[in-house]
Chain A
């Protein structure tokens, strides 16, 4: 459904995309992972026609996205990262506007609004002014605007930002249903748990290219590592071979329990400040860390790598 080849985009001297390749099949949920500024939103903007690429090609449903965007528009749905709703209009008026804009009209539009409103728990909010909704409700409405027409390819850019637990759960469920119905979904996020929950495939965007691509299990198998984590009261001590992050030190190891024991033995006076020891099994998070060299946001700041002192 989506084929991206050698996509390039620069903003001035900043190269955001440096020859990115990405394929997404019908019915697939592709979890597009990357830190802030990695280029996720730029990628979504280019493939949805909002901005021009500097090079490369994009094909959607067999059509050239750079030449045939008019024909492609009705086949794609996009929920951008920034909330885009009309706050002075009612929820229903928002849905009617964007449904009409995407070619859904009359009784078909009324039916589709009812379906989407039911799916995303907006049914009781239809007559409310959109500006009076809570953050989570606004986010659901924002996403609903992209689901009204029969899109074959859906781009969701950080769809759960600011969403409460219930809203997040409903959004993820809606995405799963769409994929089950054959829609290809590109789900850009840095919430790894959501990708795991949906059983999505993984595409890790780093340095302007897709560094790793594959189904969840294979990515974790290739790069995931079990990790030992020690938490201290106050600033964590410096320990050779361990990554320090504020009050924690972490180390990926084949036998994390043994690594943790060795670290504790080497703590000396800092042992009295030890508060918690955790063994984290191989996961998407550890795979992400291995591929990109940094922890996924918003969990942590950039890791401070401490190498062994000679």
Chain B
């Protein structure tokens, strides 16, 4: 099983490499957005008692999370394309569904984690952000969120027959998770109903966790506590996918190369 999964992982990494441009755009875009959002967030943080803040401490976690969710639309395409190329069944001839899903999700996890890391690191350098807490705490939260993203990805794939449906659902997920998670504004500035709903999104825990580590110096133990609900969300999404997905499911891609 391991060797078959490795063959599939290698294949998917080659497929991503053959079409890197969309992924690179999702790395550059959040940085571009940050340029517009940092000044207003600097002012906000000054009022909130962070006089030396650059504004990126508030804006970067939100933009990073939002565009990682957008990246799912591109990564998801890698799933649906297999049906347009008739390679999904070809792969099923040699492998079981668990092996196939490992082959698809491990590269997806690598891509998502790379995007999160690059955006976070580049944003930190570009906007001169000072991280008060330990970098390991940041790494814990990014890793937990990357795993959660894969859960969202497979759940969306399981429930959506066509790539168009997948894309539309993903946009909805981006909007809800980003808005309620605090990507656009601090949670305490949202309407009361949104503040109540926020903890029911994985993004709330990630964004709040990152901001606390960056601004308040919270450590690894704190990050681990914030990662637990994120991983619980991930588990729920994976269970949803496992219940819904069948080996013989036929999916419909759009505009296959």
Contacts and interface: CB of A to CB of B under 8 A. Distances in A.
Interface of A: 48-52, 70, 73, 78, 80, 82-89, 93, 96-98, 100-103, 105, 131, 145
Contacts of A85: 85, 87
A161 to B, nearest CB: 13
A86 B15 contact: yes
Which among B8, B89, B91 has the greatest number of chain A C-beta atoms within 10 A?
B89
B93 A78 contact: yes
B203 to A, nearest CB: 32
Contacts of B86: 80, 82-84
A88 B3 contact: no
A47 to B, nearest CB: 11
B93 A48 contact: yes
A51 B92 CA distance: 10
Contacts of B11: 86, 89, 93, 97
Contacts of A83: 86
Interface string B74-115: 000000000001110111111110000000000000000000
B10 interface: yes
A85 B89 CA distance: 11
Contact of B14 (A49, A80, A89): A89
Interface residues on B, range: 20 to 34
Given A84-B86, A86-B15, A101 B257 contact: no
11 contacts: A50-B93, A51-B248, A78-B93, A80-B93, A87-B85, A97-B11, A100-B6, A100-B7, A101-B94, A103-B3, A131-B257
B4 A86 contact: no
A48 B248 CA distance: 13
B89 A84 contact: yes
A88 B4 contact: no
Given A86-B85, A102-B94, 12 more contacts: A50-B248, A78-B93, A84-B85, A85-B85, A87-B85, A88-B257, A97-B14, A98-B90, A100-B6, A101-B4, A101-B94, A101-B95
**Interface of B (DSSP majority class):** helix
A143 to B, nearest CB: 12
B188 interface: no
Nearest to A83: B86
Contacts of A51: 248
B123 to A, nearest CB: 31
Nearest to B96: A70
Contacts of A145: 90
Contacts of A70: 96
Contact of B7 (A49, A78, A101): A101
Contact of B19 (A48, A52, A88, A97): A88
Interface in B198-257: 248, 257
A103 B3 CA distance: 8
A166 B243 CA distance: 48
Contacts of A80: 86, 89-90, 93
Contacts of B89: 50, 80, 84
Nearest to A74: B94
Contacts of A97: 7-8, 10-11, 14
B102 to A, nearest CB: 13
A78 B93 CA distance: 7
5 tightest Cβ-Cβ pairs between the two chains A and B: A100-B7, A84-B86, A84-B90, A88-B18, A101-B94
Contacts of B85: 84-87
Contacts of B93: 48-50, 73, 78, 80
A86 B87 contact: yes
A50 B92 CA distance: 7
A77 to B, nearest CB: 9
A100 B90 CA distance: 13
A85 to B, nearest CB: 7
A84 B3 CA distance: 21
A118 B60 CA distance: 54
Contacts of A50: 89, 92-93, 248
Interface in B170-219: none
B225 to A, nearest CB: 41
Contact of B4 (A84, A96, A100, A131): A100
Nearest to B99: A101
B14 A93 contact: yes
Interface in B7-53: 7-8, 10-11, 14-15, 18-19
B79 to A, nearest CB: 14
A236 B86 CA distance: 43
Contacts of A82: 86
Contacts of A100: 3-4, 6-7, 10
Contacts of B15: 86, 88-89
A38 B86 CA distance: 21
A100 B4 CA distance: 7
A85 B248 CA distance: 19
A97 B8 CA distance: 7
Interface string B123-147: 0000000000000000000000000
A80 B90 CA distance: 8
